Amino acid sequence: MGLQFVGARAVSAVSTWGLKNVFHRPAANFPGKIALYVDPHLIANLAPKLQKGSICVVGTNGKTTVTNLLADALELAGNRVVCNRTGANLDSGVATSLLHAGPSEWGVFESDELWLAKILPQLQATYVVLLNLFRDQLDRVGEIDRIQDSIVGALEKSPNTVLVYNADDPLCTAIADRAANRSVAFGVNEDLGLPQNSVADAQMCQRCSTMLEYAYRQYGQLGAFSCPTCGFARPALEYAATNVHLGLDGLSFDVFDETISASYTGAYMVYNLLATAAAADLCGCPLPSLQKAIDVFDPQNGRLQTFDIAGRRVLLNLAKNPTGFNQNLKIVAQDPGDKVVAFFVNDKEGDGRDVSWLWDIDFEELAEDEANLTVFAGGIRANDMQVRLKYAGIDAQVVEDADDLLAKIKGLPATQNAYLIANYTALPPVHSVLTAQAEGSPSTPGAVDDAGTSRADSAPKDAPAGSPAGAEGSSSVASAPCAAENRDPLVIAHLFPDLLNLYGDGGNVRILEQRLRWRGVPVEVKRVNHGETIDLAGVDLVMLGGGPDREQRLASAELMGMREQLHDYVEDGGVLLAICGGYQILGREWLLGDEVVKGLGIVDMTTERAAGGSGDRLIDNIVLRSPLAQRPVVGYENHAGRTHLGADVEPFGTVSSPTGHGNNDADKQDGVRYRNVVGTYLHGPLLAKNPEVADDLLSRALDRLAARTNTPRIELTPLDDTVEQNANDAMAKKLGARS
């Protein structure tokens, strides 16, 4: 420790004093950030003050809760603990916590998954607790493979660190399988019998790329998995939760014949508490100390925090990815009474700019709630949330902020509980408003009380605007000739949705289906999963999405086997919407990982590798001008390929926004149009804010249906697209698109 270390401590002390006393701001990150500039080895130099050791907590969901709860348990067991409790989980946050602390027994640090590669080699932590890995901020972190590689690399540079991991998650188990470090497995050793959501983040074996099988699945990809080909499977559990009870009043489970209970609810909290129990036990902390910590745990940070506002119970929680949202929706569903639900979604850097993931959330489950729901959408991307909810069958009202929300629900009976779910940067302002308006201090977190609520017996829920029941005026709904129960349905084939649904691509199918149903047009959606076949002669519209490299490789083998059938389908006038990887494979050559391989050859185009490899990606919001729509076409791009069109095909559109590239770095054009094929790099999903494009595809598909069945053509009647147009206008204006 030389002059650099002394200087780092000095600048940290000065900046801490200034932030707290002059600017009256928290000093959780900045002092460590500037100190690391002075001494890049600062964390390594400070680590010896942790006399017993340290723990790093990583994972997509649950890091802050587990970190704080574990720190509380260790303190109750008589230890002095250093902890970055506010969730400042970069190296600067860890450094700041160490700089502000005196000698301690333990350090408990939350770490961002990618930043573990910077923190762990210096800290040389005793344990790394790996909670789970789910798709999150794909525009920032890329595919989950990148996170796995980063964590394995971090562990290689800290060989004495013990990995404590969620063995129910095949993505976490794959890390333990690859790392040479000693590992300790935890998981839930029984089937919780939970209803399954539509999207999981790991369908394939991490060793051999075979589709995984499950004895039972808890949620997402978590469960008792195994590979029928290579034997990759959930290992024996050293810490196993059994006798799990989940209820509106809380949860409980047994581990090592001791019961852990909490007033929280949700299966994900079982995993959080089990991970905490495993880490606490390994650190020599008795489970009674952990139970005491759970009983008094009240971080007041907006995670599962309950407020009393004008006699109404309000539950606030964080959700920043599809899995987190789906688990929150299950908490809402446990309340049988009438209720208020509000979603706040931002797209700042900490959230990720791409909101395609909203379409991987199963809001349709919320729409099935038998109680009366009053639903709101807030945050920077409130309009996008409103569109998503509309296509789930939920009529949501946009609010300016949490103050506006509370004003709007003031007239509702106070017996109706309110559930507010916000993503990362949307959470603090909502939390601030609730804290200010709460009557007294926020109550202890727990299950929201359903006493006094009542179930709606007969009043039907309002249909969203745009549907026949929700639109106003005869011009917005289908006329009588369209409502033909005896007509052949328009058939939509979604090819390999279990492999190719990386950016909410299934949302395009949902949109097409709903826009037909709202008009009374019969429609049948055929989801063709891996290993299944379909005769495209009886199909009117095909949807082909994109996926992670491993999944795209498996899907491409199936698609190449369908090459002649797909070629004949397109040449016969079949309608095809292809997104990202699905778009690339239509050409003569396309990009599979970093490898250029032979494509289907249906469209005259090629895709090549960028000069910088797969890390050289074109990522941003994008607006196009397209002949298929009078309004701007709004979406998001995230791709490494550089696509070049042949002479006989035309682009889907021309880039009209300052942001966005399209097919490649130079052309300022995106996608392709060939016969009835539309290929594009735009997701969001594409059709959510671009109903004109959706209806153009449907109109072409109705032409094919009429010819295929030798029946009169069905005309598309107008729908009320105000919600979609508002979302389109908001983004086109935000991005400064040229008119």
**Distance between CA 406 and CA 433 in Å, rounded?**
9
- The tokens describing 636, both together, are 């998001």
Do residues 730 and 684 lie in contact, with contact meaning Cβ atoms separated by under 8 Å? no
DSSP calls for 83-129: E-TT---SHHHHHHHHHH--SEEEEEEE--TTTHHHHHHHH--SEEE
Q: Strand 641-645: give its sheet, edge to edge.
A: 595-598, 589-592, 605-609, 641-645
Say which residues have a Cβ less than 8 Å from residue 54's Cβ, sequence separation at least 6.
47, 106, 107, 108, 109, 123, 125, 126, 127
CB atoms within 10 A of CB 17: 12
**Distance between CA 420 and CA 541 in Å, rounded?**
38
Pick left, alpha or beta for residue 573 (phi over 0 → left; psi -120 to 50 → alpha; otherwise beta): left
The annotation status of 227 as a binding-site residue, yes or no, is yes
CB atoms within 10 A of CB 404: 15
Do residues 265 and 331 lie in contact, with contact meaning Cβ atoms separated by under 8 Å? yes
**Distance between CA 723 and CA 731 in Å, rounded?**
13
**Distance between CA 419 and CA 315 in Å, rounded?**
5
Active-site amino acid positions: 354, 580, 683
Residue 712: asked if its preceding bond is cis (omega within 30°), the reply is no
- The tokens describing 175, both together, are 């890390």
b/e map 19-32, b = 16+ CB within 10 Å: beeeeeeebbbbbb
Query: For every residue of 385-437, which 3-state class applies, written as one string?
Result: HHHHHHHCCCCEEECCCHHHHHHHCCCCCCCCEEEEEECCCCHHHHHHHHHHH
**Distance between CA 557 and CA 211 in Å, rounded?**
14
**Distance between CA 291 and CA 72 in Å, rounded?**
10
| Element holding 44 (H helix, E strand) | helix 42-46
The annotation status of 230 as a binding-site residue, yes or no, is yes
Binding-site annotation: residue ranges for Zn(2+): 205, 208, 227, 230
Binding-site annotation: residue ranges for substrate: 617
Binding-site annotation: residue ranges: 205, 208, 227, 230, 617
